[in-house]
Amino acid sequence: MPRRFSLTTLIACTIALAAIACAVRLSLDPNHYFFYGPEDRAAWVYDPRRVAFVCTIILAEAALVWGVFVSPSPVLWLRCAIGLALLGPWAVLSTMVFVHAPGYVLFHHLWVWSLVGLLVLVALASMVRGISRGLGLRVNKPSARTR
């Protein structure tokens, strides 16, 4: 197993587990839910099924982005474009409803858009690197002292 694959997997798993832990933490606090009145707050019951559903979605989104970064295809911007083609419409559709959403759902909105932003930034950086290589430019030229 290549070292890059292992390090990327470790980082992706750590970030995904941290995101799931944040979502679960937000879901446990009644202050992160909207209630019309104090009687609604008193009648609040924790629903672990909805939280588990959102956490499963977070895990699936993290797995998709992880797959983009560890795929054997040599063209990184193309892999990011494919990931964006899948994650972009999902981000738009899943974040349409946010009024009175619980805190863990709002955290999911932040999570999915941060993944979209990450894919966009990596795709742009990969395109710039590819263009500079195509033009014969070297990004990290060794100085005359190190030769």
Could you tell me where the DSSP H helices lie in the chain? 3-28, 38-42, 48-70, 76-94, 103-134
pLDDT digit string, tens, across residues 61-92: 999 999 999 988 889 999 999 999 999 999 99
Q: For the chain, which residues make up each domain, given as ranges? A: 3-138
Among the ranges given (23-32, 78-87, 131-140), the one the predictor scored with the smallest mean pLDDT: 131-140
Give 107's pLDDT tier (boundaries 50, 70, 90): very high
Task: Show the tokens assigned to 122.
Answer: 């990596």
pLDDT above 80 (res 143): no
pTM for this model (two decimals): 0.84
Tell me if 125 sits within 8 A of 80, measured CB to CB: no
Using CB atoms within 10 A of its CB, is residue 99 exposed (0-12), middle (13-18) or buried (19+)? exposed
